[in-house]
Amino acid sequence: MSLAGDALNAFIESQIFFPDPFLVWTPAEVGLSYQDVWIDTTDRVRLHGWLVPAESSLGLFFFCHGNAGNISHRVDNIQRLHEIGFTVFIFDYRGYGKSEGRISEAGFYLDAEAAYQTAQSFAERDNLKLIVFGRSLGGIAAVHIASRSACSGVILESTFTHMGAMAREHFPLPGTERALRSRLNSVDKIGRVKAPLLFFHGDLDAIVPIRLGQELFEAAPNPKEFVVIPGAGHNDTYLVAGKPYFDKLVAFAKGLR
């Protein structure tokens, strides 16, 4: 890549990834037992995650989080998932939390692949369904994984088709969408997913407009379902929806093979 290309790449990625290296909570602070998990990627970066087991588990909920913060900012969400019966495995991408390295798009995919291998080993060990979940940017990771690896089901929340579409929404400059369409692209991969799909999206999402989630849904194979959460924005879906959101998760998990 040329120097100009390197500079453009660095600028683009600086607008996507917002890692926070400091953990502010652990599951223990909300009364949950958990295990620190360390993962080695194929390019020798060490990642950190948590395994939060649940008795009589509905399945292993493999949680790919969004572009900001780290796993500690998802403790409330983990607690609520645990309460309804999921074992949760969540990890940080490189440069986030205790994970080593510096985040990039290429590294983001390698991290998701390595974390999936770990999640799969936990699911097989405990004879659990493996449910891949991705919120926002994490939905890109979830589709990447599910398009190439086996899982019981996939849940995508507040996610999008590709970076070009996001650029069209937020930086509507001539040629931007075409130039960035190949970046963080899930719409060209989702057709290869062989597991049932469940989508959630808030109708007031100002970061990832609901139409981008609907475009991804339209490209997805059956079986699939799209759930609109009235009044929800980008980061408050499960808080706004409340019990019906979690009831839908339980029903989806119970319906998987």
Is residue 148's pLDDT more than 50?
yes
% of the chain surpassing 70 pLDDT: 93
Q: Which CATH number do you get for residue 181?
A: 3.40.50.1820
Question: Angle at Cα 73 formed by Cα 233 and Cα 237, nearest 5°?
Answer: 20
41-52: pLDDT as tens digits? 999 999 999 999
Distance CA 90, CA 72 (A): 10
Rounded to two decimals, the pTM is 0.94
Instruction: Please choose, from the candidates 146, 145, 171, 140, the residue with its C-alpha nearest in 3D space to the C-alpha of residue 158.
Output: 140
51-91: pLDDT as tens digits? 999 987 899 999 999 999 999 999 999 999 999 999 999 99
Name the band, by pLDDT with cuts 50, 70 and 90, for residue 163: confident
Is residue 4's pLDDT more than 50?
no
Distance CA 72, CA 24 (A): 6
Which positions are catalytic?
A: 136, 205, 234
Domain containing residue 94? 3-254
218-254: pLDDT as tens digits? 999 999 999 999 999 999 999 999 999 999 999 999 9
Domain count for the chain, please give it: 1
